C-alpha cells in the first residue's frame, strides 16, 4: 500500500506554502451602495410611484370618454375601444414600471436617482391633479 504522505508531497512544489488570494465575491447590483440614505431615498421615490399610480387610477376611472361609453360600430370602433382601454392600463402601470426598471437596472447611483426623479415628474397624474385644483 502507498504512503499517503508521499502522495501529498507529489502535489506540492517548493515555495507553495503561501496562501493563495481568492477573488472577492461579486457584488449583487445595488447591494454594495445601498446604505441607509440610499434606501430612504428609494423608499420615498417608490412611495411617490405608488401614489402616482393611485392618482392615475382615480383619473382613469373618473374620465369618461365617448369611446368608453359607446365603442362604436364595426372594426374601427372596436379597435378604438381596445386602444383606449390599453392606454388607461398603461397609464396606471407606468409609474411602477418606471420605478422598477430604474431602481433595479441602472447601476450607477447618481444616474439611478436622476432617472427616478425624472420619472416622478414626467408621470404625474395630470387628470387627477386638475380635478383636485
Q: What pLDDT, in 10s, does the model give residues 68-113?
A: 556 667 788 788 888 888 988 999 999 999 999 998 888 888 899 9
Question: How far is the C-alpha of 122 from the C-alpha of 102, rounded, in Å?
Answer: 14
Would the pTM count as exceeding 0.85? no
Nearest 5 degrees, angle CA 70-CA 76-CA 82? 65
Question: How far is the C-alpha of 70 from the C-alpha of 62, rounded, in Å?
Answer: 16
Q: Are 127 and 62 in contact (CB under 8 A)?
A: yes
Contacts of 42 (CB under 8 A, 6+ apart): 34, 103, 116
Q: Are 38 and 106 in contact (CB under 8 A)?
A: no
12 vs 1 pLDDT, higher one: 12
Amino acid at each position: 500500500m502507498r504512503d499517503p504522505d508521499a502522495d501529498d508531497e507529489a502535489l506540492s512544489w517548493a515555495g507553495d506554502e503561501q496562501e493563495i488570494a481568492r477573488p472577492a465575491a461579486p457584488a449583487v447590483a445595488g447591494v454594495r451602495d445601498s446604505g441607509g440614505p440610499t434606501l430612504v431615498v428609494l423608499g420615498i421615490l417608490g412611495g411617490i410611484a405608488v401614489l402616482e399610480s393611485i392618482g392615475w387610477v382615480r383619473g382613469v376611472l373618473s374620465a369618461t370618454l365617448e369611446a368608453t361609453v359607446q365603442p362604436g360600430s364595426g372594426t374601427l370602433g372596436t379597435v378604438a375601444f381596445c386602444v383606449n382601454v390599453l392606454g388607461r392600463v398603461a397609464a396606471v402601470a407606468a409609474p411602477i414600471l418606471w420605478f422598477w426598471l430604474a431602481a433595479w437596472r441602472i447601476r450607477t447611483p447618481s444616474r439611478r436617482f436622476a432617472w427616478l426623479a425624472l420619472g416622478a415628474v414626467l408621470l404625474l397624474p395630470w387628470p387627477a391633479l386638475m380635478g383636485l385644483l
